[in-house]
Chains A and B, each alone.
Chain A
């Protein structure tokens, strides 16, 4: 059986380590890369190196940023009385895309799962406490996931911040906006009914 030259196999292997990419997709990407000019390849590789060198965590909210302080924390027009706790920076960008939230964020860096070696010490809880002590927040919204680990992370945060003078709220769960009831699965609907509010 004849295989690709080793240098190509290597790149295919790297690509297939990315989420959502299997061998076939990686193979297609590599074929495309081979067609590119050396200049293009240089700037592609350069972009990746530059990204890795410049991106760091915001010293305030732990989000990813290319400056010491991220764009949200640096923005003086944001509401500084409310903070939203998320697991990952990508959750923050997801909420930002909605555009309706104007407060600050705090990125925890994951969710509690001792089974996978992630305890409170592996997440940015102490940084969160400092962040809250240094600001005048009146409310924190816990926007971790709705799975068991995300739920545990929220409960833990609530216990951690209980003694502080801050309102703690949890995001609602239920039927996706713009979808009809019968499209939601039964567990989502149950959650929606449990979390109903007065009209």
Chain B
């Protein structure tokens, strides 16, 4: 997958910009607040129709304008694709090869980006919602089946929460939603546990290379408030059902859904110890790097071609050895976009890269 050209109109600080990146490594150099991350954000937007920084389209629109426009020429599965996105307030028009598309899932497999950003540290330090989101994005971008189960599940949870908050509680209605939670919930938990296993295989391998001290990284999946072993969907369904039955009155008392994959979490262990409390900042940084790299590997395997890598200002924080290590683990086949303030901080990664200078809403070679 490659970005061949990008055009932005009224996107963040860009009134009008045309950017033709190189096939492999692209380094965007510029001072703070010059708009480097905005470029990455627009490329990410092409793959997800979302920003990794904000949920509000207004923040993406240039100051004083009504809407923004992104168009791009992409290359994937040996074909060129034209994607155009126009967003103004609540209105969103997306077209793929001159045909309007209604659902983001129609873009599936056309373009995928893996983003490395400083806020990734929250995956370890932050609340469980962020970790679930990481898995959800990875799974829904690679499987429509997961996405539709997740959407259905979220609807059921909303309905059930509404019932739990009502004055008179219809127990049969709660049982009805519980039955649906078992079906959709088991699908989600099952697919998440498979994904965590895949992450374990790839991330573990990458982490061994990355940390000089042969450390073991394990991702542990917690569902229904316990470590979730690898089970088949039917067993998981029975487990969810048992748990729902056990918490039936507790849920009514607390007026909220307590059981199901919307309460899932996962933990990172280094040599058997919880990374959140026991590892150093440097180790945490290595873990999130490995997670993103394994996301890259999983996506590459799924679509049989390398996704685009976006690295937002992540190099200031790594030591020289790690930077050189990164040069080795990053797939030379992939197209990479890196932002930094000065090129000399990139060490070995800058070899063979094209530099672009970002200044006041323009890009120059």
Contacts and interface: CB of A to CB of B under 8 A. Distances in A.
Interface stretch (A6-14, A32-40, A113-121, A173-181): A113-121
B175 interface: yes
Nearest to B177: A152
A112 B173 contact: yes
Contact of A119 (B145, B170, B180): B170
Contacts of A152: 156, 159, 176-177, 180
A115 B180 contact: no
B108 to A, nearest CB: 11
Interface in B132-152: 144-145, 148, 152
A159 interface: yes
B176 A115 contact: no
A179 B163 CA distance: 40
A127 to B, nearest CB: 17
A155 B180 contact: yes
A159 B172 contact: yes
Contacts of B175: 159
Interface string A93-127: 00000000000000000001111000110000000
Given A114-B163, A190-B145, A119 B173 contact: yes
B155 interface: yes
B159 A114 contact: yes
A182 to B, nearest CB: 16
Contacts of A156: 172-173, 176
A45 to B, nearest CB: 37
A151 interface: yes
B158 A120 contact: no
Contacts of A120: 170, 172-173
A51 interface: no
A148 interface: yes
Interface size class of B (residues with CB under 8 A): 10 to 19
A186 B106 CA distance: 12
Nearest to B148: A187
B144 A186 contact: yes
Interface in A130-172: 148-149, 151-152, 155-156, 159-160
Nearest to A151: B180
A182 B298 CA distance: 27
B63 to A, nearest CB: 31
A151 B156 CA distance: 10
A191 B73 CA distance: 36
B179 interface: yes
Nearest to B172: A159
Contact of A114 (B145, B148, B173): B173
B166 interface: yes
A130 to B, nearest CB: 17
Contacts of A186: 144-145
A58 B158 CA distance: 34
A148 B156 contact: yes
Nearest to B180: A152
Interface string B303-345: 0000000000000000000000000000000000000000000
Find the residue from B145, B156, B176 having the highest chain A CB count within 10 A.
B176
B183 to A, nearest CB: 9
Contacts of B177: 152
Contacts of B172: 120, 156, 159-160
A156 to B, nearest CB: 4
Interface in B95-133: none
Interface string B177-194: 101100000000000000
Contacts of B162: 114-115
Contacts of B155: 148-149
A95 B144 CA distance: 31
Contact of B159 (A113, A159, A190): A113
Contact of A155 (B148, B170, B176): B176
Nearest to B162: A114
A155 B177 CA distance: 8
Nearest to B170: A120
A160 B177 CA distance: 14
Contacts of A148: 152, 155-156, 159, 180
B156 A155 contact: no
A97 to B, nearest CB: 29
Contacts of B148: 187
Nearest to A155: B176
B163 A119 contact: yes
A148 B152 CA distance: 6
A160 B144 CA distance: 33
Find the residue from A149, A152, A186, A187 having the highest chain B CB count within 10 A.
A152
Given A112-B176, A114-B159, A156-B176, 9 more contacts: A112-B159, A119-B166, A119-B170, A149-B155, A152-B159, A152-B177, A152-B180, A156-B172, A186-B144
Interface of B: 144-145, 148, 152, 155-156, 158-159, 162-163, 166, 170, 172-173, 175-177, 179-180
